[in-house]
Chain A
Amino acid sequence: MITKRIIPCLDVRDGRVVKGVNFGGIRDVSSPVELAKYYSDSGADELVFYDITASAEGRGLFTDILTSVASQIFIPLTVGGGINTLEDFDRVLKCGADKVSVNSGAIRDPSLIGRAARRYGDQCVVISADVKRVNGVFTVFARGGRDNTGLEAIEWLRRCTGEGAGEVVLNSIDTDGVRRGFDIEMLRAVSDAVSVPVIASGGAGSVQDFVTLFKTLPRVDAGLAASILHFGDTTVADIKKALRDEGITVRLSYPKRAAPFLDKGETCGKNL
């Protein structure tokens, strides 16, 4: 049977992995390539890289990193951040990405999803949505959670998957970085509404949160994790062991390796 996937998410800015809390207070964690290698060796099923750089210079650093990661790591790589055109798809696919995650770019131009799906296949196009409750309505936000688009999330994601998006990453702004568990209510609404794989994001704070996620919502395919992994609080292997003990199918065989971690909040290594 197909396994539930555990996917470390690396937010990269100016060549460094960072992780925000509620999208603010960004802290530097580690070198992207080292971290990516470590996760791959310790059993990550896939990696997501979000480019949160604003400058063109930073964008160049990002594609260099991506190329370096993709030439050393042989699990699926998803790339997001700053994807607005088919040229952006092309740019990251040429650097070794397998899937491309679109967020604000699809909100600005909803035809992007259909055009990309036709050119690269549905499996290549991931719709990522930052969603927050506004007066009790699941509402899509753009530009890293800054702009309220007024779009209702379920309808938006149905539309995107109808256009050809092959996977959905649902990031709950309400639970992101808070580390008190995934947004079960929001995830349930979305996984009931779409027929493509749904990847839960935002809120993982303990191994138990992953167990709860897959036990409560068996139709959710994968869980994304950032801070919980980057700071060494737990490992992909621990999460998978806990899932296996609860009878949830996971991929377990991989070599062990020591973590290249830092103390919380510190930086290490040099920019690549």
Chain B
Amino acid sequence: MTGIIDYGVGNLFSLRSSLAAIGEECVVSGDAREIRSADRLILPGVGAFEDAAKKLRDTGLFDLVIEEARAGKPLMGICLGMQLLFEKSLEYGEHAGLGLIPGTVVPIAEYIAPDLKIPHIGWNALSFRHGSPIYSGVPEGSHVYFVHSYHASGCDGFITAVTEYGGTLTASVQRENVVGCQFHPEKSGPVGLAILRNFTKM
């Protein structure tokens, strides 16, 4: 049973449907008891970092997510949910994240050619770095769907895949039981479903 953490950020319809499509039971919840009883957790998120971090705190889930992850429960952050795993973000100021993975979330503008469009929207290819079980059976160069203007930096030891967009961007990270995908596996067709399936086996 996978728990999708509902803290009022983002559209959880696709995530729930994609887990159903791979035959994984899930519960969408902001309730501490339900979250504790899940075998693994997904932290979704779209929008601005500061607002999402605040909502996570306001709902009392910030510390719970840290606690569950530290206890060894598999946790996958997606998109902004991945960015929240890091120590801090420099999106409109400086804001603290969950601190589960060392690193800082920074604007991609500093990493890419100046004539490229921001956000980085669309399908881009994965180049693998450190091995991760979420990519079991996924071919190098597979395309996944990205929508973002910020990415994680200073986390080289934890990068499991990067993508090229006029510069190298962090596509995914992993630190033991905690994984983060900058792209949306729930929007990445069969490759995305394979990644989610792999996560449910972690």
> Is B17 in the interface zone, CB < 8 Å from A?
yes
Q: Please, how many residues of chain B have a CB less than 8 angstroms from a CB on the other chain?
A: 35
User: In the docked arrangement, what's the CA distance between A5 and B186, Å?
Assistant: 18
Classify chain A: how many residues form its interface, as a range. Answer: 20 to 34
- 1/0 per residue, CB under 8 A from B, across A2-43: the answer is 110100000000000000000000000000000000001000
- 1/0 per residue, CB under 8 A from B, across A144-167: the answer is 000000000000000000000011
- Which secondary structure characterizes the binding site on chain B? mixed
Interface residues of B in 133-171 (CB under 8 A from A): 139, 142-143, 145-147, 164-165
- Which secondary structure characterizes the binding site on chain A? loop
> Is B124 in the interface zone, CB < 8 Å from A?
yes
The answer to whether residues A98 and B139 also contact, given A1-B164, A72-B17, A122-B119 and a CB cut-off of 8 A, is no
Evaluate contact between A167 and B121: CB separation under 8 angstroms.
Answer: yes
Evaluate contact between B124 and A40: CB separation under 8 angstroms.
Answer: no
User: In the docked arrangement, what's the CA distance between A94 and B16, Å?
Assistant: 12
Chain A residues within an 8 Å CB radius of B124: 1-3
B99 → chain A closest CB, angstroms: 24
> Is B46 in the interface zone, CB < 8 Å from A?
yes
Selected contact of B187 from candidates A1, A98, A122, CB within 8 Å: A98
The residues of B with any CB-CB pair to A shorter than 8 Å are 11, 13-14, 17-18, 20-21, 46-48, 117-125, 139, 142-143, 145-147, 164-165, 186-193
**What 9 A-B pairs have minimum CB-CB distances, sorted nearest first?**
A251-B143, A71-B17, A96-B13, A251-B123, A3-B123, A123-B147, A2-B122, A2-B124, A121-B47
The residues of A with any CB-CB pair to B shorter than 8 Å are 1-3, 5, 40, 45, 70-72, 74-76, 93-96, 98, 120-124, 166-167, 195-197, 221-222, 251, 253-255
